[in-house]
Amino acid sequence: MVFSMESGTSAGSALQLPSPADLQGKLERVWAYLTIKEILKKRIETTDKDEKDRLKERALELSLQVHYNMIRQKACFLIMK
């Protein structure tokens, strides 16, 4: 997250904070990233094949959701292909 000074302000001016909508989007992406990471960790730890498949599907489902933008469009195309 980058905080930038408004153009034309002096060095002592207040920083311009991101909008609540921007923060919410970033927080959702962080949540999705950490959730996917946790799911994949559980997948490595489990020995049940059905559970591994279920966890893999859940991680893939979360990563492909458009509003999280975890996978770029080209990579998404390759996965779907």
pLDDT digits (tens, 9 = 90+) for 5-64: 555 555 556 788 888 888 888 888 888 889 999 999 999 999 999 999 999 999 988 888
| Calpha distance 32→65 (Å, rounded) | 10
pTM: 0.62
Q: For residue 76, with 0-12 CB atoms within 10 Å meaning exposed, 13-18 middle and 19 or more buried, which class applies?
A: middle
Q: Tell me the average pLDDT across 65-75.
A: 63
- Helix (H/G/I), strand (E/B), else coil: 16: strand
39 contacts 58 by C-beta, under 8 angstroms: yes
Please name the helix (run of DSSP H) or strand (run of DSSP E) that holds residue 8, with its range, or none. none
With a cut of 60, say whether residue 76 has pLDDT above it.
Answer: no
- What integer pLDDT is reported at residue 4 of this predicted model? 54
- Residue 67 makes CB contacts below 8 A (sequence gap 6+) with 25, 28
| Calpha distance 48→76 (Å, rounded) | 27
